[in-house]
Amino acid sequence: MKDRIVLAYSGGLDTSVAIGWIADATGAEVVAVAVDVGQGGEDMETIRQRALGCGAVEAYVADARDEFANEYCMPTLKANGLYQGHYPLVSAISRPVIVKHLVKAAREFGATTVAHGCTGKGNDQVRFEVGIQTLGPDLKCIAPVRDLALTRDKAIAYAEEKQLPIVTTKKNPYSIDQNVWGRAVETGYLEDIWNAPTKDIYDYTQTPEFPPAPDEVTITFVQGVPTALDGVELTPLQVIQELNRRAGAQGVGRIDVVEDRLVGIKSREIYEAPGAMALITAHKHLEDITIEREHARFKATVGQRWSELVYDGQWFSPLKRALDTFIEDSQQYVSGDIRMVLHGGTAVVNGRRSDTSLYDFSLATYDTGDTFDQSSAKGFIDLWGMSSKVASSRDQRVAGE
């Protein structure tokens, strides 16, 4: 029996050509693996049939939308996951679930190698290969674009020569990756970081300059997980999808940033994540009233490190797993409702309530009913500033000598 190679398959030109390209270069049979993480577009059966038509000996397809929402998007939400304070980890969190299914397919079909379509200068090659090495340490990895000299021009020529069942068109000027958590756009015109994004770049969001009427939404959370919108119970996947629609209609979640790639390159990226950004905003505000101050401060540090690990392809690492435990514990009391207005590119919270809130009206109010003992403040300030006062006295004494 020939060796088998499992290929992460999108259904597009490059990975369709890669099926035959890999077979020609290695002599192995290719098993195509397509994973639905809510990227939209063609149905999975169409993609499966295309893979077989392009020469795959087997085609493994998986509807991982709920799995992705529950096991990858929700941990990201609980961590308030934003790389460098901007990027909601759209592509970074989809790679581990795809890796999981790649390794599963490799076991099922007896493959010894896993292939992906990444280049040698991006983050995803690291995310795929580190994940594969972790879940399947006996498996080898190859990348046709990086390792087998598969270029776009060669892909078009190969597809036409072999009469593959795939449309061959001139390259889209942008590289696009999308799933239910958001959409990432890069390269082409955007590589000049002075150029403003053009309207054709966007798909998940409408222009915020001419928004429809404000849309007020109430999001219900239970232990950090959104469970309902406006009182209607929904799954996490349904919540994300509905907020993609509603927040997207208002232009919420457009991000234009130059970020630090893992490989050492600064890269200009455009992201659209209407549902993700609305949810992260709401979740942060609920944490503000349900997590104690020092706990919240430290969680922000943990969330930043968690985001860096995930961005850097360390989803399955021991440290990330340990941080998961801390973050999960922090969500014990993060339950309640957040009311926010979606309008003109913004998601603004204007109401919050929780049965586990730490907000005490009688302590916070300046009006009748105030129970705060103001006489305790003076002694607190004296003690709080003592070390600075002593140091300042020393500095002034030494300066005067």
238-241: which pairs have CB atoms within 8 A and are 24 or more residues apart? Answer: 239/275, 239/279, 240/38, 240/69, 240/73, 240/180, 240/181, 240/275, 240/276, 240/279, 241/38, 241/180, 241/275
- C-alpha–C-alpha distance, residues 8 and 18, integer Å: 10
Give whole-number Cα distances, 40 to 181, 202, 204, 350, in Å: 12, 15, 11, 33
What pairing do the DSSP bridges indicate for beta strands 225-229 and 232-233?
antiparallel
Residue positions forming the annotated binding site: 8-16, 87, 117, 119, 123-124, 127, 175, 259, 271
Check pLDDT > 80 for residue 1: no
Tell me, what's the pLDDT at 173? 73
Check pLDDT > 70 for residue 179: yes
Contact at 8 Å (CB) between 211 and 72?
no
pLDDT greater at residue 155 or residue 141: 141
Check pLDDT > 70 for residue 169: no
CB atoms within 10 A of CB 231: 8
Whose structure tokens read 């949810």?
279
Q: Where in the chain is the domain with CATH 3.90.1260.10?
A: 176-291+333-353
- C-alpha–C-alpha distance, residues 366 and 64, integer Å: 52
Check pLDDT > 90 for residue 137: yes
Q: Work out the mean pLDDT of the chain and round it to a whole number.
A: 95
* CB burial readout 345-382, b (16+ within 10 A) else e: bbbebeebebeebeeeeeeeeeeeeeeeeeeeeeeeee
- C-alpha–C-alpha distance, residues 159 and 150, integer Å: 12
Check pLDDT > 80 for residue 170: no
Residue positions forming the annotated binding site for ATP: 8-16, 117
Residues with catalytic roles: 14, 95, 124, 175
Q: Which CATH architecture has domain 4-171?
A: 3-Layer(aba) Sandwich (3.40)
CB atoms within 10 A of CB 384: 11
Residue positions forming the annotated binding site for L-citrulline: 87, 123, 127, 175, 259, 271
Contact at 8 Å (CB) between 86 and 277?
no
Instruction: Give 59's pLDDT tier (boundaries 50, 70, 90).
Output: very high
Contact at 8 Å (CB) between 97 and 63?
no
Tokens read off for 117: 């379509």
Q: Which CATH architecture has domain 176-291+333-353?
A: Alpha-Beta Complex (3.90)
Q: Provide mean pLDDT across the span 222-238.
A: 98
Q: Where in the chain is the domain with CATH 3.40.50.620?
A: 4-171
- Helices 44-53 and 13-26, packing angle to 10 deg: 30
Tell me the pLDDT tens digit for each residue of 292-329.
999 999 999 999 999 999 999 999 999 999 999 999 99
Q: Provide mean pLDDT across the span 95-113.
A: 98
Tell me, what's the pLDDT at 222? 98
Tell me, what's the pLDDT at 152? 79
Is the whole model's pTM more than 0.85, yes or no?
Answer: yes
